[in-house]
A and B are shown apart, each in its own frame.
Chain A
Amino acid sequence: MSSTTIQIISRNKYYNWLVKNLFSSWVNTILTVISLIFVYQVGSFFLNWAIFDADFRYNFQGELIIDRGFCSKNIMPGEYGACWAIIFARWNQFMYGLYPIEEAWRVNLIYALLPLAIIGILFDKIPFRRYFIYFTFIFPFLAYFMLYGGPGLSVVGTNKWGGLLVTLFLGVTGIGLAFPLSILLALGRRSKMPIIKSLCVVFIEFIRGVPLITLLFTANVMLPLFLPDGVNPDNLLRALVAVTLFQSAYMAEAIRGGLQAIPRGQVEAAQSLGLSYWQTTRKIVLPQALKIAIPPIVNTCIGLFKDTSLVLIIGLFDLLGIGRAALADMTWTKLYYEVYVFISLVFFIFCFGMSRYSLYLEKKLKTDNS
C-alpha cells in the first residue's frame, strides 16, 4: 500500500466518524451546528476576556498595575477583559497565606518534595520505589518540621498558614490519615464482635449524618471549651480532626462496598486453608475490595479536597478564604471574576489530576473483571 492510500483511508475514517456521529440526520446536523456556534461564542468570549483582552501585570498604557484603578477595564469600561494583576500582587498569599515571606522557601521545599513523597504509593513500576516509600513515611515529620519550625528554624504558627498551603495540608493529610482509619472502620462494621461492630456503626452513621460544616463548627467551638483553661489546640489541627473523621466515615462506606463484593466462598476457602483472620483480610479480601472500591474512594477524595474550602466558616484562610480576603481589600475589591476563576482553576487542576489517576488505576487493575 502506498502512503496516499493510507491517507485516503484515514481521511475516510474521520469522514465516516463525522457523518456517523454528528451529521447522521437533519436533526443531528442542526444540533451539531447549534452546539458549534454555542461553543464558539462561549469559548471566544471567555478567551477574549481571560487572555486576549486581559491585563496581566501591565495595563494597556504599559503601566504596572498596583491597584484596581490601573486595570484597563476600569479605565476604559467595556473595552478590556480580566485584570489578573490581583493574582500577581497576591500570589504569595494565594500560595502561602500570611506565612512570613522570608521563610516561604520552607513551604516551597515541601511543595517540591510532595510529589516525591506520594509517587511511591501512586505508581508501582518506578525505579528505586522502595526508597520512595521510605521517604513517604519520613515526609510527614519532615513537613511538620519545615512548615511549623523547631530547632534551627523559627516557629511559624498555623494562624499564619493560608492559601494553597492550608488547602493542600487539609486535603493531603486528611486523606492520608483517613485512609487507614477508614479500612479499620469498614472491617469493624463487618466484624462479628458486637461491641466493635456497634461502635463502628454508630461512629460512621453519626459522622455521615451531620454536615461537614457542623463538624468543623463543633471541633472549632466546642473542643476548647471542654478542655482546661489555656489548653487551646491549634485552630488548624481542630479543622484537620474534623476533616479526617468526616473523610474516614465516607471512605469506610466506600470500602465496605468493596468488601461486600467479595464472594463469601473466598473467605471460607482461605479459612479452610488455615489462614487467620488478619491473613485472610490482608492477602485475600482487602486487595480485591480496595480494587473494586477505587472509583468511590477517589470520588470521596475529590469531594473532600473541595470541601476543605468550608474551613473559611471557622476563620481559616484556605485558598478560597484568602481570595475573599483579597477582595475585601480596597486596593482590589470587586475583581470577583478574576479571583474566583483563578481559584476554580487551581481546584480543577488538583481534582482533574485525581480523577485521571483513578482512571489510570482502574485500567491498570482491570477492576471490572471483563
Chain B
Amino acid sequence: MTKIKSLFISLVLTLGVSTAIAGSHGSTHDLVKERGKLMCGSNTGLAGFGAPNDAGVWEGIDVDVCRAVAAAVFGDASKVEYVPTTSKVRFTVLQSGEIDMLSRNTTWTLSRDVDLGLEFVGVNYYDGQGFMVNKSLGVSSAMELDGASVCIQVGTTTEMNLADFFKANGMSYESVPVETNSEADAAYTAGRCDVYTTDASGLYASRAGYPDPSAHVVLPEIVSKEPLGPAVRHGDSEWADIVRWSLNAMIIGEELGITSANVDEMKSSKNPEVLRLLGVDAGYGAMLGLSDDWAYNILSQVGNYSESFEKHIGPNTPINIQRGLNALYKDGGILYAPPFR
C-alpha cells in the first residue's frame, strides 16, 4: 500500500510540476501589484523562523524576507498574506501560482533548483546538521562520540549524514530510531540516547524549550550543508531579481551599518553605496521596476539582516543561536551579498 501510495504521489508531483511549467506565464510582479498584496508561502509553525504569535501576527526570519519583499514592492511591509505550507505541498503550491514566493526554511539543492523548476534566490540562513549532548557527559567535540547512542529520525538525509560522518572518522554508534523530530526530542530528554542530531537550528530550538537549556551543549561540528533560502518559480527573472535583491538589501544594510533606527540619518551619509542603497542617488529602483526608496522601505520597516536575526533567533531570544556561519564575511561568517552598484 505504501509503495502504491508513494508511486501515486510521485506521479501526481511529476504530472503537476510538468503541467505547471508548461502553463505558467505572465509577470509575477504585475500580478502582485494588481492583487495589492504578496502571497508568501510560510511554515505552518517553526519557532523563530515563521509562526503566528498570540495576536495572530506572523513572525520569524523567514517571515521577514516576505515582509522585505512587500516593503520593496508596495512600500508597506504588512501587505503580505501568509499561506502556511507543509514540506509536502510547498513546491506544488509555488508551482501552481498560489503563492508568489516560498520563504520556509527550504534547503537549496541541485535537484530542487533544476528539476523541480524552482529558482532559489539566495540564502537567508546557513544551516547544517549538528549534535547535541548533555553537558554532564563532558564531551566537547563530535570526535569524542565513539560508541554513543544517537536519536535519529529514520529515512531522512540526517540519517545518512550521520552514518557517513561516523564511518569517515572510524567511529561506531548505536542508533535509536524515532519517527518525528518531537519524538526524537522526547527520547533525548528522557535519556534514551546520549546524542540528539538534526539541523543545528532545530537543536537550538529544541534546547530552548528544555527546563534547563544550559545543561545541554550543541557541539561545534556541523556535518552537512543545509543552505536555507527563499525560492520563486523558474522562468520569471524579473521577479526573482526583486526577491533576491530584497534579501540582499537586508544583508548589505547590515554591512553598511544601516538599521531601522538610523536609516533616516544615513540618508545624509557620505558613503556612495549607502546613498545608492537608500535611493538618494536615484536610478537603481527603476532597474528593478520598483520605486527608488524600495531598499529604504525594507530597512526602515523590516530592518537589516542582523536586526531580524537578533530579534527572532539570536542569543537574546529563547532560541539562542550564535551568528556562526551566518555572520557577515567580514566577521568570520560566510554571509555575503554582491555589491550594490
Contact = CB atoms under 8 A, between A and B. Distances in A.
Interface stretch (B15-23, B68-76, B125-133): B15-23
> Which bracket fits the contact residues of A?
35 or more
A333 B88 contact: no
A232 interface: yes
B9 A214 contact: yes
Contact of A218 (B12, B56, B84): B12
Nearest to A68: B209
B98 interface: yes
Contacts of A282: none
A217 interface: yes
Contact of A89 (B25, B45, B54, B85): B54
Contacts of A210: 5, 8
A98 B89 contact: no
B45 A327 contact: yes
A222 B12 contact: yes
B44 interface: yes
Contacts of B15: 222, 225
Interface residues of B, number: 47
A312 B81 contact: no
B47 interface: yes
A318 to B, nearest CB: 11
Given A211-B5, A315-B89, A334-B209, A225 B16 contact: yes
A327 B97 CA distance: 29
B269 interface: no
Contacts of A329: 45, 47, 51-54
Given A214-B5, A218-B12, A229-B24, A224 B44 contact: no
A59 B16 CA distance: 52
B83 A159 contact: yes
Contact of A220 (B25, B89, B317): B89
Contact of A330 (B19, B89, B317): B317
A159 B93 CA distance: 14
23 contacts: A90-B54, A92-B56, A98-B56, A101-B56, A157-B81, A159-B83, A217-B12, A218-B12, A222-B12, A222-B15, A224-B98, A225-B20, A226-B19, A229-B23, A229-B24, A229-B26, A312-B86, A314-B86, A315-B83, A315-B85, A315-B93, A327-B45, A328-B43
Interface of B: 5, 8-9, 12-13, 15-16, 19-20, 23-26, 43-48, 51-54, 56, 81-86, 88-89, 92-93, 95-98, 182, 205, 208-211, 317-319
8 A-B pairs with least C-beta separation? A328-B45, A334-B209, A325-B45, A224-B96, A328-B51, A315-B84, A221-B92, A98-B56
